[in-house]
Structure 1
Amino acid sequence: MRALNLILLLCAAILMSPATGHAQQAATLVADEVFVTGGTTLTASGNIEVLYDGSRLQAARVIYDEPTDRLRIEGPILLTGPDGEILTAVQADLDPQLENGVLLGARLVLNQQLQLAANQIDRVDGRYSQLYKTAVTSCQVCSGTAPLWEIRAEKVIYDEVAQQIYFENARFRVKGVPILAFPSLRLPAPDNARATGVLIPSIQTGDRLGFGLQVPYYVTLGDSRDVLLTPFLAGNTRTLEGRYRQAFRNGDVTVDGAVSSDDLDRRDGLRGYLFAEGSFAMADGLQLAFDIQQASDRAYLSDYNISDTDRLASVVALTRVTDDAAASASLSYYQTLRENEVTASLPPVVGAAGLVRRLYPAAGGTVTVTASADTLVRYGADEVPTGRDVTRTGASAAWAQDGVTGGGVVWTVTSALTADVYQLTDTTRFHATLSRVVPYGQVLLRYPLVRQNGRTRHVLEPVAALTWSQPYGDTPPNEDSTRTELDAGNLLALAQAPGQDVAEDGMRLGLGVTWTRAGSEGVKSSLGFGRILRSEADPAFTPTSGQSKAASDWLVAGQIRLPRGLTFDGRALLQDDADTTLATARVFWNRPDVQLAGGYIWQAADPATGRTDTVSEYSFDGAVQVTQAWNVGFDTRYDIARDAPARAGIEVGWQNECVRVSLSASRRYVVSTTVQPTTDYGLSVALRGFSARGVRKITPRDCQS
């Protein structure tokens, strides 16, 4: 009975978890021989295997001495933990709780990736493992061959609680050759997802900024906040980039920015940018969101390859949505980065508020009531002498009823009334106060025809929408509908203009037909045609909108979705003589190892919209995992109208079980007073195995290969 108690004590002591206070579970011991000497010493020998709480110990001989309360284990020793950690040793002398002791000729493997081999490992307080004369690597170690990289150190301390690894007198080696020396070094353990410290440095070089080095430094500020600081030192710039993130119980905030002192801008002083976004769930279903974008000058974002956007929008919005109502209020500020545009002309300040309520009267149908207001504020009369400020307040009510005839025709009848009042300042072309009322009426008919051929389904649906509207009152300035375009979304709408300022006059007939096919082989396709016939041409529409004539351009749109993630879609506006005012085409291929996207756009010149030149351009970008080790990413844009490339870039990555290398090159060809042609190169090298949570493991090659 005494021997049995000692065996159970041994099993629990060997594999118990010192960091938990849970009751010990039953352990299983398997050995060729177990005997007790003198009533105080238990010895197990021969193919020992102990299983306890997800852990497994294998050894040649285990001796427990009760008077000294010591545990001696003779190897080879192999201990596998429940989280995948592996410990091997030749010999061990430990207390039964595994909190203090010595292991000789030991190797510790963390996350099945990072190897720490040492002459001796001391266990201290059940938390620290002190390793002496240590070699650390995540590379495959083959006999007689130095690993691709390793860190040699006189002393290494592994803190299991903080998940940190500390090095003393460390030397970084590549294929056995010393490259760098560090008196002290701290790196995160593989299971440490958030640890303060230096991240992967990268080398950047380019025509504008010169040769430079980026060294990101990550700082944790508790469980819900962090900061990322990235100094960038190059031949023509001294830059500090920063990112702050914080999560709250009801939302989150992210702030990105940079401050630079460089030789690129003729003005004295610092340059930089600030982007901030966040969202919060407020009381009573309210949602507060903001997106702030600011730059010190027009060229900063392009100089530092941060963004290609040519206008910055800062928006603060408050919204609330329920089953039958929606309310919103927003305030926006726009900053232009375009070459021949001033911020004051946009207009820069836009405020908007709206309320939509849906009612279901007993008489039938659906009633939608809307109240809205928006204001446009321009400033800087010296920059924009004709700049005007406009405030619109309006309301509308619409009633809709639908049904199906006995012959299968789906009908919808809609009537609506809108009323708007405009207040204008800083203008001589319009009166200070304008008002307008517009009634609408529409009858929409659909006749879906379905044909089933085995597992393949065809649906042919002709549609027709007869719409009438008549504005009464004044004609306000057009601020929100300057760039209209015929598409599938407005072909059958009450109004083809996207905003409130343009009100169409008279009768119009929208006609269209769509064909869709869903095949048994997984192919889905659709094709649609449509146009609008008006009683007379509307001068509010520009030539390239497709709606400037009494008979609009033909709208043609189609899509094909193939199995294995391949999709094609396109849209065009065709005149009766087959001339094109707009054509777009896109292709996508999305698979786990391939992501490709290509696009083409053609737009005719239209000075009325500010487009003085024809737009003709294609783009192609993607990422391909060529093999387990190699991946390639690329992007390109070519301006066909100018017969010149606009942008091109490529990134090649290689990785194995212990290192990840990325090399990139990009070229921007666009020339303007604020954007100059540049070529940039980048190089980053990451050592795998440190803070590797979420990183895909690479199976190491065989030593004989």
Structure 2
Amino acid sequence: MHMKRNGIGRMKTRLVLPGLTASVHDHRLSLFLGVMSACMLAGGASAFAQVSSLQANDSLFNQFNQTSSPGASGSSALEPAMVGSDPNGASAPPPVAAPSPRKKSSTVSGQTPVFFNADHLIYDRDGSLVSPEGHVEAWQDDHVLRADKVTYDRNTNVAAASGNVVLLEPDGEVLFSDYAELSQGMKDGVMKNMRALLKFNGRLVANGMRRTDGKVNDMSRVLYTTCNLCLDDPKKPPFWQIRAFTGTQDLEEKKIEYQDAVMEIYGIPVLYLPYMSHPDPSVRRKSGFMVPGIGQSGYLGVFARVPYYLVIDDSSDVTLTATLPSQTGPQLQAYYRKKFNSGDMQINVAAAYVASSSRTDSNAYYDPIRPGFQGLIFAKGEFVYDDTWRYGFNLNNATSAAYLRDYHISGVGTNVLSNNIYLEGFGQGSYTRLNAMSYQGISGSFANSTVPYVLPHYIYEYAGQPDSLGGHFSLRTDDFSVLREQGVSDQRASLSLNWDRPAIGRFGDLWKFTLHGDTVAYNATGLNQQPVYAPYTSTTDARALPQAAVEVRVPLARTAGQWGTQVVEPIAQLIVAPNTGGGGYRYFPNEDSLVTQFTDANLFSLNRFNGLDRMEGGIRANVGLHASWKYKTTMLDGLVGQSYRTHRDDTFMPGLGLSDRASDIVGRVSLSGIGYDLTTRGRFDHKSGRIHYGEAVASFGPSWLRASVGYLYTAENNFYDLTYAPGTVLPASTPVYQLVTTPRNEAMLGLSTHYEHWRFSAYARRNLEAEQMVALGGDIAYENECFILAMRLYKRYTSILNDTGNETIMFSLTFKTLGSFGFRAF
């Protein structure tokens, strides 16, 4: 060994010191510190070199950008610390985390050994200094320290690291520094020109930092952002940053606090706060006040919404939101969420005091809105019992539709609120569901006394495997009990059996033989009221409809070389069943077949009604021609067809084109390719060719600029007459339905674009028959790795009772990892 008496020498041989063993292996030195009390990072007296006269240095961001890993900023789509949406549409808490195993502490125990790697070791016997140099790397537990040089003072137990200092923490945080002094097992120390790379692209910079007991980092001249620096000019300030005189990073509470903080946009101060704080980016959930929102409406006046987020435990949380309007009473809302091992549950309750009401409408015909307390409860949950069964519930109730509209609560766009509790089972080829439902009318066009209770509704379906004849057997039962205070109350039991046998002929023709039977039994009262208005008040009856059908398709295909492939497929179907017309259907309730439409989609259906309360019978033939042409990336596909029957069927409403022996003609054409899609369908009078129903939807353009158009036309609208007051008993001659001869003629136009960080969309819907707009809206958004700007405008022109339409304007700013701020006007 060669060394200077009072200086520093370079080790050339093996050196043994008390508690320290060092060996030289070529150009790399490995050290094992076996006795922590005698080594660099052991507990003991601390001596720190004070970092003073620290001045704010924006160039630290430039250094940080050069030293940090390029991939560390990859989470550009991160939402703010409080993410998601609550039923108010305000900022909502993040997803609730399920309970997880306890993480390892980020502090070092001081009892585990420290391992070193270095190119060289310099030892000063007189000064008691040990100095690993060159690519120094030290690790203890999950802590890693890297530097060009580390000098350890054995007398003070303080280690000084200099030159490209990097400290990797167990939670993923990475600290960069020009110079650092550490002690107490890396739990205490100071850093000069500190740069920290946090989770989700968080970047924290300070001229100086002191760490105390591994729990608190006190910083001076602080900058924080989640934005990337400009690659062309890294000296330019980021999109936004927080600049503060001092700051504190609480590692236990996972919170960062600032004193004398200024929010800057592109280096321009826009907001000063004497104090501010936000959760550490590594925290997904943290109790505290969220960023408030403000707005304005004609009923509420100017209002503020102040949310407070409370973490209850690892699997539950609640958001409390106070709405403070200037023109009426306040509202308090609580949104609770809970995760279980078997499922999850959400409960949203709200209450408001309406000081006065300018509304004259009601949530039912005879339930006007009066000043006083208003409220709501929305709740849902779903739970898995085992691999076969699951169950859940949905609860939605409010005191009035006006309350939902006035306070702009979700659900305002619906006519009714629904409630149900259900049990579902999934077996091999089978499905079952037991359901109980109730509804609340929240529009003046619905009387709550006529809205049904379904107690219960039972469905069972089974599909079997192929049998010895090559057929498939299936069955379905759909049973329910419907109760109304005023109107039809009925109980139904049904059973549908079906057997299909496919076959392929000698010439490639495709056959399908079907045997089908429906049996339905009823017990009903109040048939002379809505929605049936039958000539009798009650019935207990049953009916059955057996059907036999055969269908044949003959696909004819050819390849036309460079012109692609063409397919022409004639289709014919014959159905034999007893007649169901003659008005006998009026003696039975109608709960599931109120609305139907004859199109190409149900041309070959055995029953064109949506349910079993109305059935299509008789001997009938359905014919059609299907054709397609595939040329390179373009596909043209079409279908045209018609139905014929041996008798007239007045079961169908007028205007559907199915009552005569020859039905209307239905057809569809679709064209698709790269960058465009077009589908149009229609129904035409079989005698005059006049269009009774038509729709077209098209979209075209590249992904960054997409346009869509739509069109809908119906010559008449069929609906069951609900304009009579509840309890009205009508004579037998009253029609079951009314035919509205005013055509429905609407057009829709939409446009969406996406270019780099910008997104834009707009749409318009117009009633061409009435020559007035139905709805108009659009939104624009900008999003980068650290910021979201979103604006939305919506205007509804339609009227519902005394609600003559509304306008909604929304504006929000999101600073990722900090929070969102928004404004609403409606």
TM-score per shorter chain, which class? Answer: 0.7 to 0.9
Confirm or deny that 1:293 pairs with 2:293. no
Does the 8 A contact of 1:114 with 1:190 survive in 2? yes
Name the residue aligned to 2:648.
Answer: 537
1:282-319 alpha-carbon deviations (Å, 9 max, x no partner): 24612223333333223344441634222333233322
Q: How does 1:206-285 map to 2 (within 5 A)?
A: 206-236=297-327, 238-262=330-354, 263-265=357-359, 267-283=370-386, 285=388
Give the aligned partner of residue 374 of structure 1: 480
The whole-number CA distance in structure 2 between the counterparts of 1:297 and 1:212 is 21
Query: What does residue 686 of structure 1 align with?
Result: 814
Aligned equivalents of 2:40, 2:605: Cα separation in 1: 76
Residue 413 of structure 1: aligned partner: 513
Report if aligned partners of 1:18, 1:98 keep a CA contact under 8 Å in 2.
Answer: no
Q: Is the 8 A contact 2:600 2:640 kept in 1?
A: no
Give SS of 2:22's match.
helix
CA distance in 2, matches of 1:200, 1:623: 30
- 1:24-423 residue pairs with structure 2 within 5 A? 28-30=117-119, 34-38=121-125, 40-45=128-133, 48=135, 50=137, 59=147, 61-75=149-163, 77-79=165-167, 85-95=173-183, 97-111=185-199, 113-138=201-226, 149-153=240-244, 155-160=246-251, 162-168=253-259, 170=261, 172=263, 175=267, 177=269, 179-183=271-275, 185-236=276-327, 238-262=330-354, 263-265=357-359, 267-283=370-386, 285-303=388-406, 304=408, 306=410, 307-349=412-454, 351-359=456-464, 361-362=467-468, 364-379=470-485, 381=486, 387-423=487-523
Structure 1 residues not aligned, in runs of 5+: 382-386, 693-705
In structure 2, the residue corresponding to 1:581 is in which secondary structure?
strand
1:495 alignment counterpart = 607
TM-score scaled by length of structure 2: 0.73
Structure number having the greater strand percentage = 1
Equivalent in 740, 743, 746 of residue 614 of structure 1: 743
Letter matched to residue 469 of structure 1: A
Deviations 1:24-49 (A, max 9, x none): 8976435xx6421118422245x655
1:567-624, Cα deviation, whole Å (9 max, x unpaired): 3323221223232222222235698756765433222333544574432223345653
SS at match of 2:313: coil
Is 2:580 the partner of 1:562? no
Q: Amino acid of the residue matched to residue 563 of structure 1?
A: I
Structure 2: gaps (5+ residues): 1-13, 16-20, 24-28, 42-103, 360-368, 529-534, 722-738, 821-826
Instruction: Indicate the residue corresponding to 1:508 in structure 2.
Output: 620
Q: How big is the shift at 1:51?
A: 8.0
Alignment check: 8 A CA contact 1:146 1:176 kept: no
**Range moving further from structure 2, 286-295 or 354-363:** 354-363
Alignment partners' CA distance in 2, 1:76 and 1:365:
76
Give 1:376's aligned amino acid. V
Q: CA 1:222–1:433 in structure 2 vs 1: closer, same or farther (change >3 Å)?
A: same
Residue 452 of structure 2 contacts residue 483 of structure 2 at CA under 8 Å; is this kept in 1?
yes
* Distance across 1 between alignment mates of 2:113 and 2:657: 78
C-alpha displacement of 1:73:
1.9
Question: Larger deviation: 396-405 or 338-347?
Answer: 338-347
CA–CA distance in structure 2, aligned partners of residues 653 and 351 of structure 1 = 46
* Distance in 2, Cα, partners of 1:488 & 1:274: 42
For 1:622 and 1:67, locate their aligned partners in 2 and report how far apart those are by CA, in whole Å.
73
Partners of 1:105 and 1:120 within 8 A in 2: yes
- Aligned equivalents of 1:112 and 1:400: distance in 2? 56
In the alignment, the residues of structure 2 paired with residue 13 and residue 512 of structure 1 have an alpha-carbon distance, to the nearest angstrom, of 88
Cα distance, 1:75–1:595 mapped onto 2, change above 3 Å: same
Output one character per residue of 1:245-284: Cα deviation in whole Å (capped at 9) or x when no partner.
2222222223345434455545112334443333222246
C-alpha RMSD of matched pairs (Å): 3.7
2:414 is aligned with what amino acid?
A: T
Note closer, same or farther for the CA distance 1:370–1:163 as it changes in structure 2 (3 Å cut): same
Q: 1:138 to 1:497 in 2, by over 3 A?
A: closer
Instruction: Give the stretch that moved more between structures: 134-143 or 477-486.
Output: 134-143
Give the equivalent residue in structure 1 for 2:552: 445
Counterpart secondary structure, 1:478: coil
Q: Secondary structure of the residue that 1:506 maps to in structure 2? A: coil
Equivalent in the alignment of 1:585: 696
**1:476 maps to amino acid:** F
Residue 22 (structure 2) pairs with residue 4 (structure 1): yes
Contact persistence 2:115–2:138 (CA under 8 A): no
Q: How far is 1:465 from its partner?
A: 1.3
Within 2, Cα distance between the matches of 1:269 and 1:323? 54
* Residues 81-90 or 637-646, more deviating: 81-90
Structure 1 residues 650, 269: CA separation in 2 closer, same or farther (over 3 Å shift)?
same
Q: In structure 1, the residue corresponding to 2:619 is in which secondary structure? A: strand
Aligned residues of 2:260 and 2:272 also touching (Cα < 8 A): no
Shift in Å, 1:559: 2.7
- Return closer, same or farther for 1:282/1:658 CA change in 2, 3 Å cut-off: closer
Amino acid at match of 2:351: V
Q: What is the rounded CA distance, in whole Å, between the counterparts of 2:777 and 2:295 in structure 1?
A: 14
| CA separation of 1:351 and 1:619: change in aligned 2, threshold 3 A | farther
CA–CA distance in structure 2, aligned partners of residues 20 and 580 of structure 1: 80
Question: TM-score normalised to the size of structure 1?
Answer: 0.85
Counterpart of 2:756 (choices 621, 624, 627) is 627
Compare 143-152 and 636-645 and name the one that shifted more: 143-152
Letter in 2 for 1:116: L
Against the structure 1 CA distance between its residues 389 and 150, is the aligned structure 2 distance closer, same or farther, given a 3 Å change threshold?
same
- Alpha-carbon shift at residue 445 of structure 1 (Å): 1.1
C-alpha contact 1:71 1:96 (8 A) present in aligned 2: no
Q: Which moved more, 1:496-505 or 1:20-29?
A: 20-29
- Range moving further from structure 2, 279-288 or 533-542: 279-288
Partner secondary structure for residue 8 of structure 1: strand
CA contact (8 A) 1:330 1:353 kept: yes
**Code of the aligned partner of 1:165:** I
Report which stretch shifted further, 652-661 or 119-128: 652-661
Q: CA deviation at 1:500?
A: 1.0
Among candidates 587, 595, 603, match of residue 483 of structure 1: 595
After superposition, the C-alpha distances for 1:181-238 in whole angstroms (9 at most, x for unaligned) are: 344x431222322222344443333444433333433333333222233333333453
Give the drift of 1:483. Answer: 1.3
The Cα of 1:109 is off from its aligned counterpart by 3.3
CA gap of 1:324–1:677, structure 2 versus 1, over 3 A, is closer
Is the 1:538–1:548 Cα contact (8 Å) retained in structure 2? yes
SS of residue matched to 1:673: coil
* Residues paired across the two proteins, number: 678
For each residue in 1:118-137, what CA deviation from the matched residue of structure 2 results, as whole angstroms up to 9, or x when unmatched? 34312223343222343434
Partner secondary structure for residue 609 of structure 2: coil
Alignment partner of 2:301: what SS? coil
Shift of 1:403: 1.2
Percent identity, please.
23
